[in-house]
Amino acid sequence: MNTVNPAIAPGGQSQKVSLLRVLGPAHVWALGVGIVLVGEFTGWNFSADKGGTLAALIVLWMVGLLYTCVAMIDSEVTSTVAAAGGQYAQAKHIVGPLMAFNVALYLVFAYTMLEVSDAILAGDLITQIATESGATGVTHEPFLMLCIVVLVWLNYRGVLMTLNVNFVITALAFVSIIVLFFSVQPWSQGVVLKLGEMVTPSNALPYGWIGIVAGFQFGIWYYLGIEGTTQAAEEVRSPARSLPFGTMAGMMTLLIAACLTWYICASLLPWQHLGVTFFPLYDAAVVTGSPTLKFLLFWGTVLSAVASANGCINDAARAWFSLGRDRYLPTWFSAVHPKYRTPYRSILFLMPIAVAFVYIADLNQAITFSILSGVLQYTFMSINIVMFRNKWPLGSIRRGYTHPFHPLPAVLLFLLCAITFFAIFLGYGSQLVAMVTFYIIVSLWFHFYRYRYVRRADQFTMPWPKPKGY
């Protein structure tokens, strides 16, 4: 059987190597849910520390509304602008270069810092269990490095294999939550679960309604990353069908997982402990006294962290690759591997950055950096969809999906993002100012220096008519 090098045309001339369209709806689901599911195993519970267990439940639904708006808006725009980079490609076509550059940076830092948080979580849990088992001298550093290096290698070797692995380990982690839920007899409150004792009128909202607002920052962790489904748009076989289906199915999965997680943890753990532990579901399994559940939730926590880090590497590399392809960064980053058809240089370049942050940042700092970058991106999305509908009204171009109730989702998304910014300011005001200053400085660098290398006419790849009012 003869094989042809995809980088060589039949006439012997070089041919551009592109990403492969090999993914289906299940891979899109695995990418979105795989990145996010770790938020059910850690992170969300810090909202209980800010406002109590009932505040964590209210935040679950309010932030769930925020992300439902994100999923609907993303599904419409990305099924129409099916290109690597997701929200970056949207901003490039709809708003302009400076916004696109910033959105790509939000994506890269949101996913890279989420990857860092995942590695720290997995390493700390493994170290804790090893220490409890009597092992001495065990540190988490080797696990952190091993996790990142192995996942980078997996992403380097191909997106189909990467997301097949993510589908399996994400499904296993999700099953661990389901098993725990049914094992504690949720239909018989008072037998194992003690929700009435854990959440009482006196402690439901220990800090009042301001505690709910403060909890928004960590409530984001329930769903942070579902928008990552758009990063694979250029590698999906049927974007108009697979992206909306995979994204919305992923959002429904996460809403179910979040509700089950809150119910279990709120019924087994006092809010003072729930708000500070790094492993709420694992601790809930420990409280049951079942060695089987403890073992299952240990592996569920580890697998969810690995799946999330795996998806983050995939998404951050696609955003960085897109910047290089459009000359927003050096074109060196836009190289596609001739055999594996992956943006291998972008994948390898971001690895030492993630490793450096793993060793210098703690979990709370990494989570906050990731959340802020994500919320900046969501704020842009609320503006982006309004501009998209105004420039290309319904019927002017073909859409794979049209989200309902416009502009209500955009307005809700903007308002909920504003509340989240205020919540971040309450808890991490200095870090918020520092990170916004960083993005402003980098924007000035792009505007006054890097933009001269951009070929404006080459960026627009969609065969759309001129915008309304052009």
- Dist. CA 371–CA 343, nearest whole Å: 25
In this prediction, residue 11 carries a pLDDT of 41
Answer yes or no: is pLDDT of 275 > 90: yes
Report the pLDDT value the prediction gives residue 399, as an integer from 0 to 100.
87
- Percentage of residues in the chain having pLDDT higher than 90: 60
- pLDDT at position 84: 73
pLDDT band, residue 7 (cuts 50/70/90): very low
**Structural domains in the chain plus CATH codes:** 25-106+117-142+162-311+360-428 (1.20.1740.10)
Among 18-22, 202-206, 466-470, the range with the most confident prediction by mean pLDDT is 202-206
Contact 44, 275 (CB under 8 A): no
Dump pLDDT digits (tens) for 82-111: 777 788 988 988 898 999 999 999 999 999
Q: Using 50, 70 and 90 to split pLDDT, how confident is the model at 12?
A: very low
Q: Label each residue of the chain as H, E or C.
A: CCCCCCCECCCCCECCCCCCCCECHHHHHHHHHHHHCHHHHCCCCHHHHHHCHHHHHHHHHHHHHHHHHHHHHHHHHHCCCCCCCCHHHHHHHHCCHHHHHHHHHHHHHHHHHHHHHHHHHHHHHHHHHHHHCCCCCCCCHHHHHHHHHHHHHHHHHCHHHHHHHHHHHHHHHHHHHHHHHHHCCCCCCCCCCCHHHHCCCCCCCCCCCHHHHHHHHHHHHHCCCHHHHHHHHHHECCHHHHHHHHHHHHHHHHHHHHHHHHHHHHHHCCHHHHCCCCCHHHHHHHHHCCHHHHHHHHHHHHHHHHHHHHHHHHHHHHHHHHHHHCCCCCHHHHCCCCCCCCCHHHHHHHHHHHHHHHHHCCHHHHHHHHHHHHHHHHHHHHHHHHHHHHHCCECCECCCCCCCCCCHHHHHHHHHHHHHHHHHHHHHHHHHHHHHHHHHHHHHHHHHCHHHHCCHHHCCCCCCCCCCCC
CA angle 33, 34, 39 (to 5 degrees): 80
For the beta carbon of residue 206, count every other beta carbon within 10 angstroms. 18
Asked if residue 51 has pLDDT above 90, the reply is yes
In contact, 122 and 306? CB cutoff 8 Å:
yes
Question: So what's the pLDDT on residue 79?
Answer: 83
Distance, in Å, from the CA atom of 256 to the CA atom of 260, rounded to the nearest integer, reads 6
Instruction: Report whether pLDDT(184) > 50.
Output: yes
Q: Please tell me the predicted confidence (pLDDT) of residue 5.
A: 42
* 310 touches 322 (CB < 8 A): no
Calpha distance 190→202 (Å, rounded) = 19
Encoding tokens for residue 418? 């504003």
For residue range 199-222, what is the model confidence (pLDDT) as tens digits? 998 888 999 999 999 999 899 989
**pLDDT 10s digits, 112-156:** 999 999 999 888 898 888 888 877 777 778 888 889 999 999 999
pLDDT tens-digit readout, 444-458: 999 999 999 988 777
Q: Which of 280-294, 354-368, 380-394 has the lowest mean pLDDT?
A: 354-368
Q: What is the mean pLDDT of residues 317-332?
A: 93
- The predicted structure's pLDDT at residue 238: 85
The whole-number average pLDDT for the span 422-436 is 88
Q: Which residue has the higher pLDDT, 288 or 86?
A: 288
Measured from the Cβ of residue 397, the count of other Cβ atoms closer than 10 Å reads 14
Q: What radius of gyration do the chain's Cα atoms show? A: 22
What is the torsional sign of CA 292, 298, 299, 304? positive
In this predicted model, which residue has the larger pLDDT, 422 or 9?
422
Tell me what pLDDT residue 16 has: 62
Sign (positive or negative) of CA dihedral 129, 133, 139, 144: negative
pLDDT value at 161 more than 80: yes
Mean pLDDT of the chain: 89
Angle at 450 between CA 448 and CA 454, to 5 degrees: 120
> Does pLDDT of 4 surpass 60?
no
Q: Which of 188-192, 231-235, 340-344 has the highest mean pLDDT?
A: 340-344
Burial of 470 (0-12, 13-18, 19+ CB in 10 A): exposed
The label of the residue with tokens 């599904």 reads: 75
